[in-house]
Amino acid sequence: ASVPTIALNNGVEIPQLGFGVYQIPPEETVSAVRTALEVGYRHIDTAEMYGNEKEVGQAVRESGVDRSEVFVTSKLNNGFHARDDALRAFDQTLADLGFDQLDLFLVHWPLPTIDVDYVETWKAMEEIYRSGRCRAIGVSNFQAHHLRRLFGETEVRPAVNQIEVHPYLANDELRAFDADHEIVTEAWSPIAQGKVLDDPAITAIAEELGRTPAQVVLRWHVQRGDVVFPKSVTRSRVEENFALFDFELDTSAMAAITGLDRGERTGPDPDTFDYVP
Ligand code: NAD
């Protein structure tokens, strides 16, 4: 069974399942991305902050898979929110990847407490989009109130909002807000970096279905309609995380997993996070 795609609000199609490369050291990234492409992944999620864009680009360019068949996302780093810095940072991302065009570029964090207003940053993203060098633009870690300001003061609607979502942080209010505004939610840290895999409710469902806990949690995301990109450098796990489209969770299993929500973040709070490298 192959990976479904989801249409973004500008018609561009994104594969619902991808491969995330956060915390993969550059010297391991070429091999990790090559493995993912061999297994069948056609969507890679990186960021300038991850320090491995060059290696992601190299792996994609050397893979033998046509560039047009791989959806690549990168993100604007926190130090580059001013207009001119954002334009320069995008050029650098393209150069490091070695691509003519990027599929999706995101503002990594809203940084609501720093001196540059993220509305200015979004206007620079619109310039990048209009240049044709990026097929879609979006945001990451934006709350509803950050998005509302963009809707009021800018023209292009973000195509995605990449936010922390997993069974301990269902984030359903924000997901519904995204959906109401034609914004696709991407769920980062979909297995909470492994933290949810020992949960008895999840292991019980996995045992009953003859699947692994990671597959059950990732399948829960897929059935909720979010985009996911689990990270692993272990080939067997990269394969396991890709095998999500030949089984289903019934409504009671779905509800049991959603019921684990306890509002628990593994990462920073977008309303207070202000880290600039
Ligand atoms: P994740 O939830 O994907 O968990 C990854 C970890 O879980 C791995 O390091 C491994 O230890 C373990 N794991 C993976 N597959 C497993 C399996 N089948 N069985 C057992 N253990 C397994 O965490 P993540 O890497 O933080 O998130 C995924 C991606 O989301 C990142 O790589 C990145 O692309 C993106 N992300 C974005 C942001 C953001 O601010 N936009 C923040 C964090 C992550």
Please check whether residue 167 is in contact with residue 202, taking contact to mean a CB–CB distance below 8 angstroms.
yes
Q: Is residue 196 part of a domain?
A: no
Identify the pLDDT of residue 259. 98
Q: What percent of the chain has pLDDT above 70?
A: 100
Q: What is the CATH number of the domain that holds 62?
A: 3.20.20.100
pLDDT at residue 257 is higher than 80: yes
Amino acid identity of 106?
A: L
**Annotated active-site residue in 22, 41, 50, 168:** 50
Q: Is 275 a catalytic residue?
A: no
Phi, psi of 17, rounded to the nearest 5 degrees? -115, 130
Which three-class secondary structure state does DSSP give residue 197? coil
Identify the pLDDT of residue 277. 87
Q: What percent of the chain has pLDDT above 90?
A: 98
Which three-class secondary structure state does DSSP give residue 44? strand
Residues 221-245: tens digit of each pLDDT: 999 999 999 999 999 999 999 999 9
Structural domain containing residue 164: 5-190+225-246
Amino acid identity of 192?
A: A
Please choose from 19, 71, 160, 188 the residue to mutate so as to test ligand 1's pocket, defined by most ligand atoms within 8 A of CB: 188
Q: Is residue 198 part of a domain?
A: no
Decide: residue 261, CB within 10 A, 0-12 exposed, 13-18 middle, 19+ buried: middle
CA distance 158 to 125: 10
Contacts of residues 272-276 at CB distance under 8 Å and 24 or more positions apart, as own/partner, are 272/113, 273/109, 273/111, 273/141, 274/111, 274/113, 274/114, 275/78, 275/109, 276/78, 276/79, 276/111, 276/114
Identify the pLDDT of residue 66. 98
- Of 76, 131, 106, give the one whose Cα is nearest residue 184: 106
Q: Is residue 214 part of a domain?
A: no
Q: Is residue 265 part of a domain?
A: no
Please check whether residue 241 is in contact with residue 215, taking contact to mean a CB–CB distance below 8 angstroms.
yes
Q: Total domain count for the chain? A: 1
Q: Is residue 258 part of a domain?
A: no
Q: Is residue 34 part of a domain?
A: yes
Q: Phi/psi zone of residue 107: left (φ > 0), alpha (ψ -120 to 50 degrees), beta? A: beta
* Ligand 1 centroid from CA 60, angstroms: 20
pLDDT at residue 149 is higher than 90: yes
Q: Is residue 206 part of a domain?
A: no
**pLDDT band with cut points at 50, 70 and 90 for residue 103:** very high
* Ligand 1 centroid from CA 256, angstroms: 22
Rounded to the nearest integer, the mean pLDDT of the chain is: 98
Residues 57-100: tens digit of each pLDDT: 999 999 999 999 999 999 999 999 999 999 999 999 999 999 99
Please check whether residue 14 is in contact with residue 71, taking contact to mean a CB–CB distance below 8 angstroms.
yes
pLDDT at residue 1 is higher than 80: no
pLDDT at residue 13 is higher than 90: yes
Q: How far is CA 73 from CA 13, 47, 117, in A?
A: 13, 7, 23
Identify the pLDDT of residue 82. 98
Ligand 1 proximal residues by C-beta, below 6 Å: 20-22, 45, 108, 140-141, 162, 188-194, 197, 214, 229-232, 237, 240-241, 267
* Ligand 1 centroid from CA 155, angstroms: 33
- Predicted TM-score (pTM) of this structure: 0.98
Please choose from 191, 212, 215, 219 the residue to mutate so as to test ligand 1's pocket, defined by most ligand atoms within 8 A of CB: 191
Query: Partners of 74 in the beta sheet?
Result: 105
